[in-house]
Structure 1
């Protein structure tokens, strides 16, 4: 309550000090009881402030004001005691003039002579205070640096949170797009096969209609012949004998129709035999298999990857992506998603008109936020094209002489044998081969600063049936 009123509102207008036993006049002014008595002892019984005459009765005590003033005085007394305790030794009552550098606390001269601090190094309190302020200032700066670092991480985390959501939406969109393509292939195959059954049905029905028509004509002809024979049997003997030859010839000319009914039904087996396998085998023509898939979480912001993660090119306008540890931050590099730690692997990269690239493999542990030369001692085994020259990135690099610039480069890794080989697949000629004993998994590696794309070529899928 004392903090809600300024101190001048708690001061007597007569003695200019905090009220002591304040009384309240009818004019609403308050005074110390003793101060008001001294004023009235001069002769006039009026308010010392507004000069309004006061009643002859004794003015009442202003209890509310009295309580506030007593609380303020109590606070002042406590502050005074605390101040004394802060500058004086609690044990000896002497002023704190020294600072113990061992125990990190202020002491008096008596404390310095005691057993507790006798062998400790001490400094004057003023000198130690400057050192403490300097040390706290350094600690404050360190804390502020930590706070700034945490805020940076916090912002990066918030950005990554939003990026993850956009990643999920984009990945779902691409999955739906690819499944829609597969669905379209299935729907078209279904439509073609249903149309084939319909066509087969129409052909078989047309053949049956023709067959039925022929049989109907034969039946009608036979009915007429039977009728003629029956009429002849009713004629006189001589008439019968005269017409016998014609009647007999007519009977012989009525040959029975063919009763061969084979091949008239729909060949259901042709339409249903291994249907799912046949459709799946046909779908292979619409499906690409790429032995190496790029990892977008490692791509430098200036590299633009295709939707199927098999090609990329350089852009001067970097795209937004989080500053995650897996990403290359210094140069325009990207690696594949699968680490290769054994066996033999190969992939073909279409370079086309791109003349600024590095291709090969890189160690899994290569740092992503440092600029390193692409050398085997740094974990790189690569082939380089720059300014119309081809170099094997050894230490130092070796300039290669090629009969013609290849449009494709085949990279072949045999991890167990310790070889990384580069071929021109058009002529199946070896360009260069590294030999090294690998001690950790490798990642397919790519670099470019060209707007012309590099593309990992798909491979054909072969289906082999195993007969048991």
Structure 2
């Protein structure tokens, strides 16, 4: 609770107390005021009640002094604030006046975008400049700034969306990298298994041959030992006969000679006893590659997952697609089709001849063909040549070439078409579609002059997959025949 200012004034000087003292009669005065009063009157009496004060020095009224100092400080701050406000008002008045002519600013130059005074308007500086009143300028400038603010807000909202999408893209990149790493490992593991199996079979064949050769040599060693034993017996008999008397030698001569002549004295056949190393090592890497070839698949067209509509599901090997109807959380990158369930192949085609075979199976809603690399992907347009699309459509049980307008196609047979071959001859400007379910029946041919790179194109709204079929890989070795001429 604050006291009235009158209660804080000294009764002698009628001003705020300065170093107030408290007399025994409970009256307060400034220390200097009460001293002057006592000196003037010659007695130590209270200036108000005339009660005689004690001879001791009057005590300081601490509570009253603190309160007075607070009031004085508040007055000083108030005075300083008022001075600042006055200075601001003066500065504002100066701002409202022309800095060159000190005239009041009443006009706004539309060319220089600044307030001017009448003298400025008549001077050479702003001669022939369009001007408006300050009131009109305020309205126009506010409208312009408001428009700018709206534009900045839209940019800010766009940047926020990009920021959010960027963070989502980082998470998606990590998932992509992990999934791709797993697929790479899986495919290498398949190759490792083939190589390990081939290695085991080749080592087993070598082991079998080693065992067979060693067993054969052991049989030969046994035969040689038997022959050596027989020869040793014959050698002993001959020595014995040679040391016998003449009559005994002659009587046993025929038997001894027959026994010695019955022994096989020819050379031992040692051909084919060694391991056929060349059979195991000759062109070993090439033989391994030929064996791998039986386990390899080459698909002429693989799909680009970064272009697939969010509702499309692609296989791990990027050769098939189907429509799920649910988004799997892919980012909104510029390459992706956003309006329709479309996807394109990885490699752009700019020259030469190309073909790929698509298994449509039970799918009853698809488009196949090619599209130019610059065809828009974030707008809903028809897949027709004027928009950069050359496609064949199958929908509602009918085939249509997507010309302008579409061309209905009638098939010679009513058999279900389950395989479509797309054949592009870029240089000659033709795109052909064939029914490869049976015979390669030509369905339709587009003729055009292609002016930019093309991408294989796929569309479907069916949960039955479209699949690009692999082709056979043929490995051949080129052997150069060198003829030598001897002179």
Gap change, CA 1:439 and 1:100, over 3 Å in 2: closer
Preserved CA contact (<8 Å) 1:215 1:257: no
CA deviations 1:158-204 (Å, max 9, x no partner) are 32233333323332332233222222222222222222211111110
Following TM superposition, by how much is the alpha carbon of 1:25 offset from its aligned partner in structure 2, in angstroms? 4.9
1:262 maps to 2:271:
yes
Matches within 5 A, 1:32-51: none
Matches within 5 A, 1:108-123: 108=117, 119-123=128-132
User: Within 1, Cα distance between the matches of 2:207 and 2:427?
Assistant: 57
User: Within 1, Cα distance between the matches of 2:16 and 2:191?
Assistant: 95
1:359 maps to 2:371:
no
Following TM superposition, by how much is the alpha carbon of 1:99 offset from its aligned partner in structure 2, in angstroms? 3.7
User: Within 1, Cα distance between the matches of 2:118 and 2:302?
Assistant: 77
User: Within 1, Cα distance between the matches of 2:168 and 2:246?
Assistant: 117
Larger mean Cα displacement after TM superposition, 261-270 or 274-283: 274-283
Give the alignment partner of residue 476 of structure 2, picking from 456, 464, 468: 464
**SS of aligned partner of 2:423:** strand
User: Within 2, Cα distance between the matches of 1:447 and 1:381?
Assistant: 12
Larger mean Cα displacement after TM superposition, 390-399 or 274-283: 390-399
Give the alignment partner of residue 316 of structure 2, picking from 302, 307, 313: 307
1:414 maps to 2:419:
no
Give the alignment partner of residue 285 of structure 2, picking from 271, 276, 283: 276
Give the alignment partner of residue 200 of structure 2, picking from 191, 198, 201: 191
Following TM superposition, by how much is the alpha carbon of 1:456 offset from its aligned partner in structure 2, in angstroms? 0.9
User: Within 2, Cα distance between the matches of 1:330 and 1:148?
Assistant: 22
Preserved CA contact (<8 Å) 1:25 1:54: no
Give the alignment partner of residue 171 of structure 2, picking from 154, 157, 162: 162
**SS of aligned partner of 1:340:** coil
Q: TM-score, length-normalised on structure 1? A: 0.83
User: Within 2, Cα distance between the matches of 1:378 and 1:118?
Assistant: 55
1:4 aligned residue: none
Gap change, CA 1:231 and 1:59, over 3 Å in 2: closer
1:147 aligned residue: 156
Give the alignment partner of residue 429 of structure 1, picking from 432, 436, 441: 441
**SS of aligned partner of 1:292:** coil
1:443 maps to 2:443:
no
CA deviations 1:346-373 (Å, max 9, x no partner) are 1111111112111111122210011111
User: Within 2, Cα distance between the matches of 1:124 and 1:118?
Assistant: 16
2:405 aligned residue: 396
User: Within 1, Cα distance between the matches of 2:240 and 2:122?
Assistant: 163
Larger mean Cα displacement after TM superposition, 425-434 or 269-278: 425-434
Gap change, CA 1:408 and 1:106, over 3 Å in 2: same
Following TM superposition, by how much is the alpha carbon of 1:135 offset from its aligned partner in structure 2, in angstroms? 2.4
2:11 aligned residue: none
User: Within 2, Cα distance between the matches of 1:59 and 1:207?
Assistant: 129
Following TM superposition, by how much is the alpha carbon of 1:237 offset from its aligned partner in structure 2, in angstroms? 3.8
Give the alignment partner of residue 182 of structure 1, picking from 173, 176, 191: 191
2:219 aligned residue: 210
Question: What residue ranges of structure 1 are gaps of 5+ in the alignment?
Answer: 1-7, 28-32, 46-52
1:346 maps to 2:355:
yes
Preserved CA contact (<8 Å) 1:218 1:257: no
1:48 aligned residue: none
1:453 maps to 2:465:
yes
Give the alignment partner of residue 228 of structure 1, picking from 215, 237, 245: 237
Preserved CA contact (<8 Å) 2:392 2:402: yes
**SS of aligned partner of 1:231:** helix
User: Within 2, Cα distance between the matches of 1:405 and 1:44?
Assistant: 126
User: Within 2, Cα distance between the matches of 1:415 and 1:187?
Assistant: 43
2:93 aligned residue: 84
**SS of aligned partner of 1:232:** helix
Preserved CA contact (<8 Å) 2:293 2:475: no
**SS of aligned partner of 2:456:** strand
Preserved CA contact (<8 Å) 1:284 1:461: yes
Preserved CA contact (<8 Å) 1:334 1:446: yes
Preserved CA contact (<8 Å) 1:339 1:441: yes
Following TM superposition, by how much is the alpha carbon of 1:94 offset from its aligned partner in structure 2, in angstroms? 4.9
1:72 maps to 2:81:
yes
Gap change, CA 1:411 and 1:311, over 3 Å in 2: same
Measured on the aligned residues, the alpha-carbon RMSD in Å equals 3.5
1:329 maps to 2:338:
yes
Preserved CA contact (<8 Å) 2:20 2:61: no
1:126 aligned residue: 135
